[in-house]
Structure 1
Amino acid sequence: MTQRTAIITGGSSGIGLAIAQQLAQQDYRIAIVARDPQRLQQAARQIGPGTRHYAANLSRRGAVEEVAARLAEDLGTVDVVVNNAGFTRVIAADTPLAQAEREWDAVIEGNLKSTFLFTLAMLPHLRKPGGRIINLSSIAAQCGSGSPGALGYSAAKAGVQGFTLNLARELGPQGITVNAIAPGFIADTRFFGAGLPQDRIDAIAAETPLARTGRVEDVAAAALWLASEQASFITGTITSINGGARVG
């Protein structure tokens, strides 16, 4: 069989890197896209020989068009697109309006607009039928954040979920599946910079029915399944990877 190809945005660290590694272990050709060239090079070495890496700001249409053209030229038809790129900024109800607007625009562009632009740019190169689009949402889109400051992030990830559901309807007749993964708290990432204090991590674990925090491998396993042939009749879903946190 022809070797399958996967592109992972935000693939230089955390969840994106874990997804790329698991797909590579299943003999996918891997390309990762992110902003930092140095971290991309380091990640490509971790993923394995033959991993391609591309630096681009995916919230800018020109940059997206350029990297999509390079990907198409280098890889040809693509089987799986994983939209994982994103970040958060602190926007709370009491954030001064000018600052809140500035941070809001950055978060919406970095999480929602980037997913929208990159997906549409890669659609002409996605396998039909059989293509897979996997978007990364968040538990914050479903029930908000446990602490103030995630107004923009929650809204952006809720937008990702709406985009996923609508795109699944549009692309279903072409045999392309579109799904999202909504992780809960994943401890082993750089999402919170230096990380949360241990007492806060312990509190999150205590509030979770499975009594632990998530790991990047938990999310990567879900992405691996959604990318597989076994998930060919799964589309328009939001898969929650949170240890039952919304139940607890």
Structure 2
Amino acid sequence: MTFELTGRRALVTGAGQGIGAAIAVALADAGADVAVHYAHSADGAAEVVGRVEQAGRKAVALGADLTVTAEADRMVGEAVSFLGGLDIVVCNAGHLVGRVAVADMSDEHFDEVLAVNLGTAFRTIRAAIPALRQAGANGRVVTMSSLAAHNGGGAGSAVYSAAKAGIRGLTKGLAKELAATGTTVNALAPGFIGDTAFHNTFTPADVQQNIVAGTPLKRAGTVDEVGAAVVWLCSDGAGYITGSTIDIDGGAWFR
């Protein structure tokens, strides 16, 4: 049994920085060629491409607004064309957008949070299904849920939490739909991953410290640990796991 991904072809959305960048590099280190999607972080995506190429793998940066169907379809098509097919799709794109209580939330904010977190995964996977079916038993989809899907998240993130819970449901349903071709579909649910734009933007330092203090392992997770988990889920070693959500949160959520 192997955890290598030599010759596999991967697409990672939201890979211009943070967790997505670490996932792209981890996949390359395991042997995969990688299409690096970005929405706004063009410079970061270019840097990630360089790191993938340093690992001896092929890479391309692809910009797209994945809340728009035509953009998602184009981006996936370009990834398939560049890579010569597609075995792995990692739907990492997402964003809190802003901390807003439901009582104060506009319809526009609600729609944006769902579109950015749930809609992007839906559109990306839908466009990639023909290529994944061709990949057969090598087919892997990894979606990105969150600890917030379990516990409702912090202040002002109820709708974000709902979107991430929706990712779990989408993952389970897709696992059933794609099982016949051998493609597996699983989700990761990260807890507090330190030194990311997400928390540096939306979570004050004192709150971050309190989160770490309340985590059984008493530390933040790292982007590299998330990347390693994705490599495992995409490997032959995880070939009999599908429809599952893997918590990567230092013990913050025991079920």
Report the TM-score, using the length of structure 2 for normalisation.
0.90
RMSD: 1.7
Alignment of 1:11-50 (within 5 A): 11-36=15-40, 37-49=42-54, 50=58
SS in 2 for 1:128: helix
SS in 1 for 2:138: coil
Larger fraction in helix: 2
Q: 1:215 aligns with which of 214, 222, 229?
A: 222
Contact 2:192 2:212 in 1 (8 A): no
Contact 1:90 1:103 in 2 (8 A): no
Equivalents in 1 of 2:203, 2:150: separation in Å?
21
Give 1:185 shift.
0.9
SS in 1 for 2:218: coil
SS in 2 for 1:135: strand
Contact 1:141 1:157 in 2 (8 A): yes
- The aligned counterpart of 1:94 is 103
**1:185-229 deviation digits (Å, cap 9, x = unpaired):** 111211134464433222111111111111111211111100000
Deviates more, 1:187-196 or 1:74-83: 187-196
- The aligned counterpart of 1:62 is 70
Write the letter of the residue equivalent to 2:130. P
Write the letter of the residue equivalent to 1:203. N
Contact 1:91 1:104 in 2 (8 A): no
1:136 partnered with 2:144:
yes
- The aligned counterpart of 1:106 is 112
Report the TM-score, using the length of structure 1 for normalisation.
0.93
Identity, % of aligned pairs?
Answer: 37
Q: 1:166 aligns with which of 145, 162, 173?
A: 173
Write the letter of the residue equivalent to 1:132. R
